[in-house]
C-alpha cells in the first residue's frame, strides 16, 4: 500500500514539474518575442508615441515660426528695397591732409544739405572722431569740443539752410586718428544721425555723402572720401572706392563753376558760400616770367589756391604802363597768357586795371573803356574771369569820382558779360569801404568792393572800416594785402596778420596776396635769391610766402 502511494505522488510531482517547465518556457519565449531587434523593451512604445506627438507639435510650431520669420523677412526686404528719401544730411571730407608735431592734420570741409522745399533756420552738428580732436581755426561757424566730439553751430550769417540748398562750414583739425565714427545733425528738434547702413536717395548727393534719417527711423552709414579717393567708414576701415571721384578731386572751377554775389558773400553755382584764396602777380611787365601755367599750377596744387590776380599797371610813367607808352599788344599778350593758364588749370583769375600813380581812374577812362570792352568780349565765355576795374584810387580821389567812373565801365563789361563779378576800388588806396557802404552802386548784380591792407600799417582802424561795411551789407573783396608795412617792405607783423585772417575767415572774405615775384622786398612771396619761375617749391618761398601758403592751406 505504501509503495502504491509513493508511485502516485511521484507521478503527480512529475506532471507538476512538466507543467511548470512548459509555463516557464512559454513565459521566457513571450518576453523574448516582445523585444525589438535593438533589444529595447516594447513597453517603451507608450513613451515613444507621446514623444512623436510632441515632436509633431514642435515641428508644427517651428514651421509656423519659420513662416512668420519669412514674412517678417519679406516685410524687411520690402522696406529695405524702397529708397529712403533723405531730408537732411551732411558731407564730411578732408580738403587736404598733412602731419605736424606727430599729429595727423586736415582741413575739414563740411556741407549740410536741405533736400526739402522749405528753408530751415538754425542747426547744430556733432561730429564724432575716433581720436581726440584739436581745432585751431573754424569758418562759417562756432565750435565746442567735448572729448571725441566736435559740436558746430552756425555763424550769424549761416543760420539758414535754403530749400534744396546747403550751407558750408570748415575747420583745421589735428588728431591721432581723424576717422569719423558718426555724426548727429540737429534740425527743428530732430536728430539726423549718420550711423547704420541703409540705401538712401539723396537726390543729387555725391558718392562721399554722409547720409542720415531721423532718429526714429533707419539711419545711414557714415562715409567720407578724401582726395585719395578712399572710403572712410564708421568702422574705421579704409577701402578703395570704386565710385567716381568726389567733387573736390576736380579743379576749383570744375567743382564750383561760375561765381556770383549773394549778400556779402561769394557763392558758387550751387548757391553755397565760397572763398577765393590766392595770389596776385606783381606788375606783369616787370615780372613777366611768373605769368605761366607751371607757376600757377604750383600755387594751385601745393598751396591749395584757387585764384590768381594779374596786376596790369596802367601808368608807371614809362613803357611798363599800359597807358603810359607801353606796348599794348605785348601787355595784352601777357594778360591773355595769364587768363589762358588759369583757365586751363580751372582757377579763377582777376584782370586788374592797376591804377596807382595815376591816382584817379578817370585819368585814363577812354583806355579803360576800350580795354574792358575788348577783354570782356574775348573772355565772355570764360566764366572764371573776374574784372577789377580800378586798383587803388588815391591822391584825394573821392568816392563820387570812383562811382561815376564805375558807372561808365560796368555797362561796358555787362554788354559782353552779363554775370561776371566786378570789383570796384575804393577811396584812399582801397581802404574807405565804410564810406562806400553808405552809397553803393545800384542797378547791377555781382558787384564787389576792394579793400587792401598791409598788416604792419593797417590795424584796428581799417579792420573796423571793414566790419562797418560788412554790417551795412557791402560785399568786400581783399584783392591785395601783405604782412609788412604799406611800402611793401619792413618787418612782418604776424600778430596783426593773424587778426586780419580771423576777420577774413570769420566773414568769408576772398583774398589775393601781394606778390608772386622774387623782388627784394618783404611782400614778395618768392625769396630774392630764388630763380624759380615755373615749378615753385616751399624752399623757394620767402617768410611771407610761407605764411600765406599756410593760411591758404588753412593752417
Residue 48 host element (H or E):
helix 45-81
**Between β-strands 277-283 and 307-313, what pairing exists: parallel, antiparallel or unpaired?**
parallel
Residues 6+ apart with CB under 8 A from 273: 140, 158, 167, 168, 265, 266, 267, 508
DSSP structure string for 278-309: EEEEEETTT-GGG-SHHHHHHHHHHH---EEE
- What's the rounded Cα separation, in Å, for the pair 41 and 30? 12
Q: Are 430 and 391 in contact (CB under 8 A)?
A: yes
CB atoms near residue 412 (< 10 Å)? 20
Other beta carbons within 10 Å of 536: 25
Answer for the pair 185, 88: CB distance below 8 angstroms, yes or no.
Answer: yes
Cα–Cα distances in Å, from 288 out to 331, 338, 466, 518, 536?
A: 9, 10, 33, 12, 15
Backbone angles phi, psi at 374, to 5 degrees: -65, -50
Q: Which of 240, 129, 235, 221 is nearest to 177 (CA)?
A: 129
Closest CA to 358 of 398, 402, 389, 315: 315
**Which of 91, 248, 480, 521 is an active site residue?**
480
> H/E element holding 329?
helix 328-344
Run of H or E residues at 422: strand 422-424
List Cβ neighbours of 247 (8 Å cut-off, separation of 6 or more).
206, 254, 255
CA 258 to chain centre: 18
Is residue 170 within 8 A of residue 139, CB to CB? The reply is yes
Instruction: Locate 62 and state its grid cell.
Output: 517651428
From residue 86, how far is each of 90, 164, 367 by CA, in Å?
A: 10, 12, 55
Tallying the residues shown for the chain, one arrives at 555
* 480 included as an active-site residue: yes
Catalytic residue chosen out of the listed positions 392, 407, 438, 521: 392
Cell of 373: 570792352
Q: Tell me: cis bond preceding 515? Omega within 30 of 0 counts.
A: yes
Residue 128's CB: how many other CB atoms inside 10 A?
20
Helix axes 328-344, 293-303, angle to 10 degrees: 40
Task: State the Cα–Cα distance between residues 352 and 368, nearest whole angstrom.
Answer: 11
- Enumerate the active-site residues: 392, 480
Amino acid at each position: 500500500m505504501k509503495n502504491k502511494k509513493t508511485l502516485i505522488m511521484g507521478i503527480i510531482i512529475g506532471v507538476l514539474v512538466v507543467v511548470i517547465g512548459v509555463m516557464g518556457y512559454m513565459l521566457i519565449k513571450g518576453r523574448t518575442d516582445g523585444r525589438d531587434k535593438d533589444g529595447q523593451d516594447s513597453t517603451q512604445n507608450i513613451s515613444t508615441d507621446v514623444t512623436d506627438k510632441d515632436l509633431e507639435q514642435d515641428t508644427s510650431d517651428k514651421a509656423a515660426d519659420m513662416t512668420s520669420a519669412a514674412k517678417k523677412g519679406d516685410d524687411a526686404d520690402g522696406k529695405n528695397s524702397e529708397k529712403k528719401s533723405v531730408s537732411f544730411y551732411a558731407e564730411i571730407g578732408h580738403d587736404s591732409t598733412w602731419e605736424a608735431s606727430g599729429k595727423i592734420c586736415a582741413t575739414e570741409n563740411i556741407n549740410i544739405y536741405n533736400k526739402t522745399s522749405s528753408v530751415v533756420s538754425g542747426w547744430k552738428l556733432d561730429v564724432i572722431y575716433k581720436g581726440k580732436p584739436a581745432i585751431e581755426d573754424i569758418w562759417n561757424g562756432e565750435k565746442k569740443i567735448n572729448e571725441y566730439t566736435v559740436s558746430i553751430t552756425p555763424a550769424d550769417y549761416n543760420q539758414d539752410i535754403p530749400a534744396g540748398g546747403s550751407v558750408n562750414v570748415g575747420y583745421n583739425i589735428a588728431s591721432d586718428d581723424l576717422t569719423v565714427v558718426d555724426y548727429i545733425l540737429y534740425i527743428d528738434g530732430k536728430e539726423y544721425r549718420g550711423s547704420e547702413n541703409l540705401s538712401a536717395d539723396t537726390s543729387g548727393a555725391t558718392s562721399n555723402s554722409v547720409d542720415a534719417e531721423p532718429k526714429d527711423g533707419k539711419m545711414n552709414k557714415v562715409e567720407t572720401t578724401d582726395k585719395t579717393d578712399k572710403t572712410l567708414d564708421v568702422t574705421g576701415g579704409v577701402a578703395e572706392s570704386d565710385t567716381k571721384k568726389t567733387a573736390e578731386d576736380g579743379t576749383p572751377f570744375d567743382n564750383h563753376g561760375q561765381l556770383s554775389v549773394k549778400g556779402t558773400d561769394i557763392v558758387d553755382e550751387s548757391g553755397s558760400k565760397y572763398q577765393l584764396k590766392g595770389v596776385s602777380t606783381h606788375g606783369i611787365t616787370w615780372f613777366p616770367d611768373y605769368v605761366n601755367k607751371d607757376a600757377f599750377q604750383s600755387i594751385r596744387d601745393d598751396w591749395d589756391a584757387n585764384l590768381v590776380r594779374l596786376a596790369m599797371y596802367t601808368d608807371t610813367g614809362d613803357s611798363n604802363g599800359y597807358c603810359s607808352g607801353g606796348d599794348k599788344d605785348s601787355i595784352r599778350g601777357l594778360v591773355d597768357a595769364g587768363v589762358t593758364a588759369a583757365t586751363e588749370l580751372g582757377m579763377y583769375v582777376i584782370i586788374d586795371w592797376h591804377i596807382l600813380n595815376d591816382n584817379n581812374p578817370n585819368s585814363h577812362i577812354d583806355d579803360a573803356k576800350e580795354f574792358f570792352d575788348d577783354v570782356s568780349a574775348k573772355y565772355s565765355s570764360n566764366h572764371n574771369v573776374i574784372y577789377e576795374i580800378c586798383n587803388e584810387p588815391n591822391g584825394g580821389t573821392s568816392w563820387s569820382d570812383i562811382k561815376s567812373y564805375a558807372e561808365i565801365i560796368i555797362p561796358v563789361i555787362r554788354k559782353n558779360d552779363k554775370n561776371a563779378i566786378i570789383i570796384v576800388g575804393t577811396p584812399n588806396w582801397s581802404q574807405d569801404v565804410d564810406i562806400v557802404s553808405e552809397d553803393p552802386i545800384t542797378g547791377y548784380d555781382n558787384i564787389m568792393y576792394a579793400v587792401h591792407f598791409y598788416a604792419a600799417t593797417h590795424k584796428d582802424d581799417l579792420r573796423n572800416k571793414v566790419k562797418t561795411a560788412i554790417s551795412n551789407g557791402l560785399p568786400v573783396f581783399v584783392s591785395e594785402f601783405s604782412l609788412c608795412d604799406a611800402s611793401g617792405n619792413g618787418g612782418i607783423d604776424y600778430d596783426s596778420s593773424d587778426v586780419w585772417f580771423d576777420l577774413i575767415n570769420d566773414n568769408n572774405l576772398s583774398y589775393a596776396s601781394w606778390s608772386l615775384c622774387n623782388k627784394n622786398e618783404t611782400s614778395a612771396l618768392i625769396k630774392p635769391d630764388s630763380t624759380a619761375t615755373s615749378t615753385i617749391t616751399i624752399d623757394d618761398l620767402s617768410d611771407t610766402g610761407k605764411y600765406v601758403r599756410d593760411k591758404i592751406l588753412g593752417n
